[in-house]
Amino acid sequence: MDKERAGTQPVEAGFAQLKGLTHSRWPPMQKVLAAPVGMGAAKTHRDLVCFQRLGLVAQDSHTARHDLGPAALKRGLVSPSRLNAVRLALAGAL
C-alpha cells in the first residue's frame, strides 16, 4: 500500500465544513459545522468568513445559518460538463 500523501490540515478541515453544508438537510448554524471536525467556534468563524469572501458560503443575516454560496454552485455546475462517463463506467464507479 502506498504511503499516505501529506496534506494541509486547515484545508482538509475547511473542506469538511463545506461537506457539512452539502450533507445538511437545512442550512446549519456554525456550531453544527464545527462539531464533526472538532474545531472551536473562533476557528470555524474565521473559516466561514473566508469562505464567504470567496463566495463559497453565504450566511442568512436573520437566522445566522450558513449555506453554499454562488461560487460553490458555479463549481458544482462545471463538474458534470467534465464528467467522463465512459472512464467511470470502466472503473466500475457507475
Rounded to an integer, the average pLDDT of 41-60 is 90
pLDDT at 91: 79
CATH number at residue 54: 1.10.10.10
Answer for the pair 33, 21: CB distance below 8 angstroms, yes or no.
yes
* Mean pLDDT confidence for 62-84: 85
Q: Which residue range is the domain that position 41 belongs to?
A: 9-90
| pTM given for the model | 0.70
Cell numbers standing for residue 87: 472512464
The more confident residue out of 25 and 66 is 66
* Residues 6 or more apart in contact with residue 45 via CB below 8 angstroms: 30
Tally of domains in the chain:
1
The DSSP H or E segment spanning 41 is: helix 41-54
Q: Is residue 53 part of a domain?
A: yes
